[in-house]
Structure 1
Amino acid sequence: MENKILAIVNGVQILDKHLDEAIMRYPADRRQYLETPVGREQLLEQMISFELMYNYGKELGTDSSEEYLNQVEKAKKDLLTQIVIGNELSKVEISDDEAEKYYNDNKENFKEMEQVQAKHILVETEEEANEVAKKIAEGLSFEEAAQSHSSCPSSQNGGDLGFFTRGRMVPEFEEAAFKLNLGEVSAPVQTQFGFHLIKVEDKKEERVKPLEEVKEVIKQNLLQEKQNQRYFDLTEELKSKYRVEVYK
């Protein structure tokens, strides 16, 4: 892509790449707007404005003022501190063996409970539930029946409640759902909300997630812990090297 000149302010060029670099410093949700033609034009105007203010400050001699020099020293100190911390923490690594050991020592943390994916139709009376069940038995799809008869907001999705584990639904509903075979429609199930017809679409047995599925998450968590420890240890080490006086 041609890196064209977008503006020249007092002899300084603002290029396409400068605009792209500025956009990348914004959060992802803001970048989406700034990458549009209107957003880019607004950002360019802001960059031109900043460049003008910079030149004006130089003209006024603000870059020689005590306020400016103090801020520069503070920024230099903060930047040096952040670079040192970043360099030290970048030395910390987590091996695959460390991740595997943590996984083997903590498998209970990676258990996935038994789940079912169910659809349901909610009506007020058992008589209504039986009437809907009869229509389904005669060929009406469960999803169409849910859209036509169910009072639950899930009716918009054909009654689909997605996957859920035990303890997420009221006891009567949960007991019936976990007992059903795939594709089977339950008899009317009464709960505090009314009468339900339930159909189970899928089941997931209880399992321990395999190492490969969770390894990267483990490594990130261990890395953060190890980096925190490195930061603490280095701080304590430097306390013995440089004089520290704390007054309370």
Structure 2
Amino acid sequence: MKKIVMSILISLMFLPAAHAKVVAKVGDLEIDDQEVTERMQQLPPQYKTAFASEEGKKQFIDQLVQEKLIYLKAKKEKYDANTQVLKQLDRVKQGLMIRQFMTDTLAGIKASEEELKKYYNENSAEFMGKAQVKAKHILCNTEEEAKAAKERVLKGESFEDVAMDVSTGPSGKKGGDLGWFSKEQMVPEFGNMAFSLEKDGLSDPVKTQFGYHIIKVYDKKSAETKSFEEARADLERKLNNTRQKQYVDEMILELKKEHSVTIY
């Protein structure tokens, strides 16, 4: 309930844009299309869907009208001076001030190009990609079924057709295709076998917790280091977060010297 009240209070604090179209008027209060859009965007997904049609939008505007009527009633009864209302408004104001202050302050705290390149050059192992294979598999319940499936492939049936016919795994419907993956993405027995095979290699049955697999590797990629440009976005995010956290930590220490803090 408190969250809903806060949401309403915050929305009432925004002034309508000059170009916004007025869609309703309650006393001297106007409801414009910008407010309708903003308020609808705050709704949970299921309610957004319910109010998506033109009829739904009219119902939503009617709810806003009711809200304004209640607001006018509350104002008439001096709730703009109510102690609880003023306390909540102060909390909303504090939150808005903190958020805007942090946004403005941290916007200028970013790692320089030199810092990004220095970190990249000194931590190259961090940007090493993982080796990957592109493979398909046939999953069977027993070793005998897996051997029979492999025999069908060796006799000329396509791996995909056999997978779609007998594989019990969810990938069976798409010919056993697992796409590209690294060793760590698979259970150890499966990953070790897949990465031991050469391109176009076909495994014997491999037992895992899921059953018995026949694996075929279609392609392989060796581990490669990301270029500076490829790593830039992650680098900036990491170093900017580090610098900003350091700045905030130092700022808090200084503020604690200026203001007494007592925690009960």
Q: Does the 8 Å CA contact 2:147/2:205 hold for their aligned counterparts?
A: no
Counterpart in the other structure of 2:198: 181
CA 1:166–1:79: 2 relative to 1, 3 Å: closer
SS at match of 1:140: coil
Distance 1:100 1:39, change over 3 A: farther
Provide the TM-score with structure 2 as the length reference.
Answer: 0.76
Paired residues, number:
243
From 122, 130, 147, give the equivalent of 1:113: 130
Are residues 1:163 and 2:180 paired? yes
| C-alpha distance 22-180 of structure 1, shift in aligned 2 (>3 A) | same
Structure 2 residue identity aligned to 1:95:
S
1:57-98 CA-to-partner distances (Å, cap 9, x unmatched) read: 111111123333343344334433433333222221222322
Whether the 8 Å CA contact 1:34–1:43 is kept in 2: the answer is no
Aligned to 1:142: 159
The 5 Å alignment of 1:1-248 reads 4-25=21-42, 33=49, 36-37=52-53, 40-124=57-141, 128-167=145-184, 168-171=186-189, 173-186=190-203, 188-192=204-208, 195-240=212-257, 242-244=258-260, 246=262
Which stretch shows the higher mean deviation, 118-127 or 10-19?
118-127
Q: Aligned partner of 1:169: which letter?
A: V
3-state secondary structure, aligned to 2:199: coil
Structure 1: which amino acid aligns with 2:75? K
Q: Percent identity?
A: 31
Distance of aligned partners of 1:246 and 1:64 in 2 relative to their CA distance in 1, 3 Å threshold? closer
Q: Cα RMSD between the aligned structures?
A: 3.1
Higher relative contact order (CA 8 A, sep 6+): 1
- Name the CA distance, whole Å, in 2 between partners of 1:155 and 1:115: 21
Which runs of 5 or more residues in structure 2 are unaligned? 1-18
Q: Which amino acid aligns with 1:50?
A: E
Question: Tell me, what secondary structure is at the counterpart of 1:181?
Answer: coil
CA deviations 1:147-200 (Å, max 9, x no partner) are 1112333212311233333353343x44432233333433x3242565432211
Separation of aligned partners in 1, 2:46 and 2:127? 35
Q: Single out whichever of 126-135 and 109-118 deviates more from structure 2.
A: 126-135
Give a deviation string over 1:22-66, Cα, whole Å, max 9, x none.
Answer: 234457x57963772266445433322321221111111111233
Q: Using a 3 Å threshold, how does the CA distance of structure 1 residues 138 and 102 change in structure 2: closer, same or farther?
A: same
Q: 1:146 to 1:234 in 2, by over 3 A?
A: same
Q: Which runs of 5+ in 1 are unaligned?
A: none
